[in-house]
Amino acid sequence: MNVVVIGSGGREHAIVWKLSQSKKIGNIFCIPGNGGIEDIAACYDIKVNDFEGLISFSKKNNVDLVVVGPENPLADGIVDAFTEAGIPIFGPTKNAARIEASKIFAKELMKKYGVPTGDFKTFFDYHEAKAYLKKISPPYVIKADGLCAGKGAYVIKESEKGFSTLEDLMINHIHGDAGKRIIVEEFLSGIEASYLSFTDGITTLPMIASQDHKPLLDEDKGPNTGGMGAYAPIPFIDSDMARFIDTEIMDKTINALKVEGALYRGVLYAGLMLKDKKPYVIEFNARFGDPEAQPLLFKMESDILPILIACIEGNLKDIKEIKWKEGVSICVVIASRGYPDKPEKGYVIKGLEDLKDRKDIMVFHAGTKKEGDKFYTSGGRVLGVTAMGDTFKDAIKKAYDAVNSIYFEGMQFRKDIGAKALKVIGE
């Protein structure tokens, strides 16, 4: 089977890497890809919103399957375009991808169908929103309705910040049209978890739960980022809670979308807050998480290709479970100086060669560029150093030993990825 993967991050490197081990894989293409992906797939620089260009490339190269990494092309209708052209594609349609592309759509769906989530109010008008904020006291969360590359949620701890955020979104339009409509949401405190399931629109097939680290700095300080590291499994969700999430969140949401005429196929990602041992949805994403995809796919034992195809063909119920390698998988993201605001680029990356043949370590590339046989930084998040170990302690040590053997000018990374798990299990 010839496959195209769309995207250029660590998530896409992990998808390409996992596909490359599949029994039935033929040629793998990645558009646009990155320096690391180039080593295992042919990369082509076509714009990911140029659907016509992508479709004609896929036809020319006898592509049997397209896998979409990021949210923007999904929200723009890439799945609808390929489906119309008769090329199988993994991901939700534009209509179904609203679960991520519109927070208002997602919240209203959850409310209507009884999926556990925080209380919220929707506003289309700045003055009405301001009058509401005057009546409530922090903490609360303000969210832009549309896609903002992970930067559209503001946890408000002081009233003044609430008013200025509202102004930024609804008057100054710092996120353009995405912030024209907003929600004000109840603040939920607890432990965050990422729960991803494959689905064909009818059945869901869960992956193991993982945990992202969104803030830039240790102890969850600093600005929010795309994610600075992740690991799986996590010790905060036992099998009873996982079954509750499967039925009361994932199945219920998939069924709700079907009833609403928006059959959802692909990966559904629930960002959860575990509060008093109960899970609440704080957001849905219409795709694999990044970095979560890196530790998850590194740990996945099952062949991914039949799962992707079953989602598209609507017979996911025939796949009973996903097999996982024993142990803990952890990914530490190394980012450029200046990330997330203004990442510096163009520095040579050293130390990758020695990690190349390790079975227990995989360095997934994100913002890298290959020139000759050298890799250079070319983005905010640069590498996802991913390790498998027998225990949390072992996996964490392996990942950080590998991180410390890599160098580029201005590299920054969190030193506490996995620390929350260690604390709970007392290793």
CA distance 309 to 320: 14
Partner whose footprint covers residue 227, from ligand GLY, ligand AMP, none (CB < 5 to 8 Å by kind): ligand GLY
Backbone angles phi, psi at 148, to 5 degrees: -135, 30
- Segment (H or E) for 220: none
What stretches of 95-207 show up as alpha helix (H) in DSSP?
Answer: 98-101, 103-113, 126-135, 159-170
Question: Is residue 290 part of the contact set for ligand GLY (CB under 6 A)?
Answer: yes
Structural tokens at position 417: 């990825």
Instruction: Identify what 145 binds: ligand AMP, ligand GLY, none; CB under 5 to 8 Å per kind.
Output: none
Rank residues 214 and 299 by Cβ distance to ligand AMP and give the closer one: 214
Residue sitting closest to ligand AMP (CB): 153
- Rule CB under 6 A: say whether 98 interacts with ligand AMP: no
Is residue 211 near ligand GLY by the rule CB under 6 A?
no
Output 250 or 312, the one with its CB closest to ligand AMP.
250
The binder of 218, among ligand AMP, ligand GLY, none, by C-beta within 5 to 8 A per type, is none
124 or 187: whose CB is closer to ligand AMP? 187
Does residue 282 belong to the site contacting ligand AMP (CB under 6 A)?
Answer: yes
Alpha helical stretches, state H, 227-280? 239-244, 252-259
Smallest distance from ligand AMP to CB 268, Å: 14
Toward ligand AMP, which CB reaches closer, 232 or 263? Answer: 232
- Residue count, binding to ligand AMP (CB under 6 A): 16
Under the binding rule (CB under 6 A), the answer on residue 185 touching ligand AMP is yes
Question: Using the rule CB under 6 A, is 285 a contact of ligand GLY?
Answer: yes
Burial 45-66, CB ≥16 within 10 A → b, else e = ebebeebeebbebbeeeebbbb
Q: Which amino acid is at 158?
A: E
Distance of CA 82 to the CA centre of its chain: 22
> Dmax of the chain from CA atoms?
61
Other C-beta atoms closer than 10 Å to the C-beta of 163 total 15
Count of beta carbons in the 10 Å neighbourhood of residue 22: 16
| Beta bridge mates, 32 | 7
CB of 215 to ligand GLY, least distance (A): 12
Instruction: Tell whether residue 192 is a contact of ligand GLY (CB under 6 A).
Output: no
Interaction of residue 192 with ligand AMP, rule CB under 6 A: yes
Q: Is the dihedral of CA 71, 247, 143, 179 positive or negative?
A: positive
Q: Which residues of 112-145 are buried (b: 16+ CB within 10 A; e: fewer)?
A: eeebbbbebebbeeeeebbeebeeeeeebbbbbb
Q: Pick the closer one to ligand AMP by CB: 15 or 153.
A: 153
Beta bridge partners of 300: 324
Counting contacts by CB under 6 A, is residue 146 touching ligand GLY? no
Q: Does 185 bind ligand GLY (CB under 6 A)?
A: no
Environment class of 155 (CB within 10 Å of its CB; exposed 0-12, middle 13-18, buried 19+)? middle
- State the minimum distance, in angstroms, from the CB of residue 141 to ligand AMP: 4
Least CB distance to ligand GLY at residue 229 (A): 10
Give residue for tokens 């998040």.
381
CB of 207 to ligand AMP, least distance (A): 18
Q: Which is nearer to ligand GLY, 154 or 375 (CB)?
A: 154
The residue within the footprint of ligand GLY, chosen from 77, 150, 190, 351 (CB under 6 A), is 150
Q: Which does 285 bind (CB under 5 to 8 A by kind): ligand GLY, ligand AMP, none?
A: ligand GLY
Residue 290 interacts with which of ligand GLY, ligand AMP, none, CB < 5 to 8 Å by class: ligand GLY
Packing angle between helix 252-259 and helix 103-113, nearest 10 degrees? Answer: 100
**Tokens encoding 141:** 């969360």
Stretch that binds ligand AMP, among 185-193, 236-244, 314-322, 412-420 (CB under 6 A): 185-193
Give one word for 381, left, alpha or beta, with left for phi > 0 and alpha for psi -120 to 50: beta
Using CB under 6 A as the binding rule, whether residue 289 contacts ligand GLY is answered as yes
Q: What is the crossing angle of helices 126-135 and 159-170, to 10°? A: 170
Of 271, 291, 384, 418, the residue at the interface with ligand AMP (CB under 6 A) is 271
- CB nearer to ligand GLY: give 192 or 200: 192
Q: Which residues contact ligand GLY by CB under 6 A?
A: 150, 212, 227, 285, 289-290, 292
Q: Which residues contact ligand AMP by CB under 6 A?
A: 118, 141, 150, 153, 155, 185-188, 192, 214, 224, 271, 273, 282-283
